[in-house]
Amino acid sequence: MTCALLTIGTELTRGDLNDTNSGWLADQLTSLGYEVTHMLSIDDNDERIVAALLALSRDHEVIVCTGGLGPTTDDRTTACVATALGVGTFRDLASLAIIHKLALNFGRVVSPSNEKQADFPEGATVLTNRKGTAPGFSVQIGACKAFFLPGVPREMSAMFREHVVPRLPNRGALFTTLRLRSFGLAEAEVNDRLAGLETEHNIIIGYRASHSEIEVKVQAEGRPDESQAELHQRASLAADQVALRLGSAVFSRGGARLPEVLGGLLVALKSTLGLAESCTGGLVSEWITQVPGASRYYRGGVVSYANAVKTQVLGVPDTILHKYGAVSEEVARSMAEGARRILNADYGLAITGVAGPDGGTKSKPVGLVHWAVAGPLHTVSKYATFHGDRVQIQNRAAMSALFSLYKMLMAPPAPPASTQDN
């Protein structure tokens, strides 16, 4: 059973907008055991959209299409599906009522183009949209089940979960996906360490790497004699092996990201966190606060970009700054301890580095980053020279610093008074 993804919009084909919908949908469908073999983006052109719908529906059991369901003249999807099917459209009174109700709530008048969003190809099943005005729909094109969702990612993803997943054709065999996340190992190393597991456990292993973090997906398809519980058991055993072979690099089982894992740990330890960020400019703070419930452990952060802020706000001694420079182990440690103290937190995390592209020197090249974690018992510091552009260096620095915090939170208590953790 194969699936195709179709994203519609001239903004996509002109490069004004990155197609994140396809990636998200492909990940979801793959996790559910469907095989996505084609992803196509088309501009707002009737002929090309109709041709694509006809071609994709011939070769796939499922099409998921996003975009072009809105009220504007460039929103062509409904009309194109009707043309592809050789049918007219009908106005759905329930959808019309919702459009009027939403407009009333926002104090807007409903225009004829808004009402157009209640039109669907004859024979379509309407899929309601709880997060926006454009409803979606599904139709059967020959042997293919086709779903049409709005382009706005948060509307699209909610509707995929609510309407598409329960309506997907049965894919035959059972299927399960388990996820683990690791940090710090190179992709090739992860691959080598996991060699042999696929055949041993009759599973498929998938990898996704970003900013030194690697997600490992263990996918298993049920055998005819296997129950769901047995399948899950087999996949879990394989995932145990993955965890064992990757050792302390694994920080999450189940797909939680590092900031989320840290949040869980800080809550469990009834501890709080304060940040002092220089070259990451608040990135870590952003990640931490993206996790719901962060107020339970996140005290705040200082973006101490200028040296004066490092000294005046965080209390980094002038002498240390002058002696070692802003990008140094000593300053990172002092920043972390300062953040811990002034923010009244149990743990202080600090990052200082040269994000580039300018400002590097021979002894302190672009990409050099020092970070430190000050805990109740001791302070650890680390450094690395990251490659990549400014944003990549910032992301890698932020991830690395968070992983050092993770290690401290996971470490057994009573370490030495002060350690250099390189």
219/217 Cα distance (integer angstroms): 6
User: Looking at beta carbons only, is 156 or 397 nearer to ligand ATP?
Assistant: 156
Q: In this structure, how many other beta carbons lie within 10 angstroms of the beta carbon of residue 196?
A: 10
Q: At CA 185, angle to CA 184 and CA 189, rounded to 5?
A: 175
User: Looking at beta carbons only, is 21 or 381 nearer to ligand ATP?
Assistant: 21
Structure tokens belonging to residue 59 = 């070769």
CB of 39 vs Mg ion, minimal distance in Å: 20
Beta strands 213-221 and 204-210 are: antiparallel
CB of 408 vs Mg ion, minimal distance in Å: 48
Interaction partner, residue 9 (Mg ion, ligand ATP, none; CB < 5-8 Å by kind): ligand ATP
Choose which of 44, 75, 92, 337 interacts with Mg ion (CB under 5 A).
Answer: 75
User: Looking at beta carbons only, is 132 or 367 nearer to ligand ATP?
Assistant: 132
> Should residue 132 be labelled a site residue for Mg ion when binding is judged by CB under 5 A?
no
Choose which of 70, 135, 263, 274 interacts with Mg ion (CB under 5 A).
Answer: 70
3-state secondary structure of 333: helix
Any long-range contacts for 222-225 (C-beta under 8 Å, 24+ apart)?
A: 222/173, 222/174, 222/175, 222/176, 223/173, 224/173
CB of 148 vs Mg ion, minimal distance in Å: 13
Q: Cα torsion at 4, 8, 12, 13 (round to 10°)?
A: 90
Q: Segment contacting Mg ion (CB under 5 A): 72-80, 116-124, 255-263, 285-293?
A: 72-80
Interaction partner, residue 150 (ligand ATP, Mg ion, none; CB < 5-8 Å by kind): ligand ATP
CB of 159 vs ligand ATP, minimal distance in Å: 10
Residue among 85, 42, 36 at smallest CA distance from 59: 36
CB of 70 vs Mg ion, minimal distance in Å: 3
Q: Segment contacting Mg ion (CB under 5 A): 65-73, 172-180, 188-196, 329-337?
A: 65-73
CB 315 within 8 A of CB 342: yes
CB of 75 vs Mg ion, minimal distance in Å: 5
Interaction partner, residue 12 (ligand ATP, Mg ion, none; CB < 5-8 Å by kind): ligand ATP
CB of 132 vs ligand ATP, minimal distance in Å: 6
Q: At CA 171, angle to CA 196 and CA 241, rounded to 5?
A: 25
Interaction partner, residue 19 (Mg ion, ligand ATP, none; CB < 5-8 Å by kind): ligand ATP
Q: Strand ranges (DSSP E) for 82-143? A: 89-91, 119-121, 125-127, 136-141
Residue among 422, 339, 417 at smallest CA distance from 379: 417
Binding site for ligand ATP (CB under 6 A): 7, 9, 11-12, 17, 19-21, 66-70, 75, 134, 150-153
Residue numbers at the binding site for Mg ion (CB under 5 A) = 70, 75
